[in-house]
A and B are shown apart, each in its own frame.
Chain A
Amino acid sequence: MAGTDFNVKYVAHLARLSLSPDEEQKLGAQLNNIIGFIEQLKSVNVSSVEATAHAVPTVNVTRADEVRPSISHEDALRNAPKQSNGLFIVPKIVE
């Protein structure tokens, strides 16, 4: 199965990751090898086994819905690549 339907270009697009043609070629080959390795799990009988999402099972950890102190506006914008008027500046999304 590995190598036949793994399309590195398509998955990289899903991950919003631009790759050079060299990277596509190299990462594609390495990932095919790794996918071949993880295929071994197909030989484990997991029928009637529950999935573990967390080693310490916790469900719906909630907190009281009340206003608490948080970092300042200034601190939140401190690392912004582009900002103006106290806002993050991004490319136009809607024409």
Chain B
Amino acid sequence: MLNQLTISELTAKIAKREVSAREATQACLDRVARVDGQIHAFISHNDADALTQADAVDKAVARGVTLAEKPLLGVPVGIKDVLAVKDHPLNCGSKILGNFVSPYDATVIEKLKAAGAIIFGRLNMDEFAMGSSTENSAFGVTCNPWDTTRIPGGSSGGSAAAVAADEVIATLGTDTGGSIRQPAALCGCVGMKPTYGRVSRYGLVAFASSLDQVGPFSKDVRDNATLLNVISGYDKRDSTSVNQPVPDYTKALDGNIKGLQIGLPKEYMIGGLDPEVKSAVDAAVKKLESLGATVEEISLPHTDYAAATYYIIAPAEASANLARFDGIRYCARLDGADPIELYSKTRGAGFGPEVKRRIILGTYVLSSGYYDAYYLRAQKVRTLIRQDFLKAFEKVDAIITPTTPTAAFKIGEKSDDPLQMYLSDVFTISCNLAGICGVSLPCGFTTSPKLPIGLQLLGKPFGEEVMLKIAHAYEQNTGWHKERASIGERF
């Protein structure tokens, strides 16, 4: 089944003309038709458009285009519904955008297209990327392919579930406080948040601009490195992208981690951590030691304050960014007697409850008389959190933690308690505040029911090579990533 292949496997076959891009795309379309009714990873998809792109790739292959020129030759890649793809719908999991169609491509989409990828579908997400379960989508809940009564994580839940269910070969998501790594952990795939500034955000609908990054979901670490190669780099259209050379990240995947120092932060092995998650991470630590790395306990003393800091800074930035959805240039407008009434009615009808909560919270912490007490103070605590990491990275090459405190929870379990939902991100938030890179990869399963457990590796700013090297060595010596969700088999 071509849809089950990795990027490396599929592109090798297409380059050798053993299979066509059309066949690979059709295999994914067939899989979507068969299983997406149970998972609902996609908000929409345009099969004819995907096949047209595939035919163009097949023509290029016939003309002699090589894998070196197009490293994603004929690879169907699904896109989170927050990235602009020219002439495709864009809704951010919200009803406020109505029938919006993107007038241009995001930089990452241009790069994927140039690399030979087939851009396929709009993947479900929490509205405006605010959430940890994909239950906040105006287009319905996405289900976890390992157990469809459970959430896939969020906010990039559709991106994770589509890869885990073999509906596409890889996907893009975005990560503001864990929205790539947490769903990757809960669905059993590999998901990375690159260093802040590594990947252009031009064409990404902004949530919290000092935290957002675009990143890849894949079936293994090598594919993740291949995707990072393609999407990284300076972009003059994103003034926060950093002008730093892009190495070939796949070259770092040599399996040799002898002598590397890995830190295990004591603040992460806390109460509330599920015993099965803890023992999976303990076993991963032993595995890395057996491969020649040194693991030592470290301290990140301000860890306890990360969630409170995040839930001031992210809503504050969101309240400013989402002011643009006012019903003037786009959006499903509700008329009013004057502009203020038009804005209020349009926004009141168009935004869902979580987005409203965060806009109000963000407006409050920025409002006159509260700015210093909340927002400015949070920015200062953010400095302390970042310093914790920079200090730790003087001693260690990477940091190892669980990605989430528990495996996937039940749909509906936390949806009435926003604060409990916020705390499910407790291990992933600091990475965004510090601006460093992080990756989640499978490190085992709970026993009953069988649900994936994620291991998080955190790297230095622009330290993706070392981080991926460790992730790859671990993966190749364990093989958890080869286990597939049983979705569809009962039909």
Contact = CB atoms under 8 A, between A and B. Distances in A.
A18 B345 CA distance: 6
A85 interface: no
Contact of B305 (A34, A41, A92): A41
A40 B158 CA distance: 34
Contacts of B308: 37-41
Contacts of B376: 51
Interface in B361-378: 361, 363-365, 367, 373-374, 376-378
Interface in B90-122: 98-101, 103-104
A81 B327 contact: yes
B237 to A, nearest CB: 9
A3 B242 CA distance: 42
A54 B367 CA distance: 21
B380 A27 contact: no
Interface stretch (B19-27, B271-279, B283-291, B336-344): B336-344
A58 interface: yes
Given A78-B101, A91-B335, A41 B360 contact: no
Task: Name the interface size band of chain A.
Answer: 35 or more
Interface stretch (B179-187, B381-389, B391-399): B381-389
Interface string A24-54: 0011001101110111111010100111111
Nearest to B307: A37
A11 interface: yes
Given A16-B344, A33-B419, A55 B381 contact: no
Contacts of B307: 37
A75 interface: yes
Contacts of A55: 196, 210, 386, 433-436, 461
A81 B98 CA distance: 9
Interface stretch (B73-81, B256-264, B348-356, B473-481): B348-356
Contacts of B461: 55-56
A34 B423 CA distance: 11
A81 B480 CA distance: 49
A33 B419 CA distance: 8
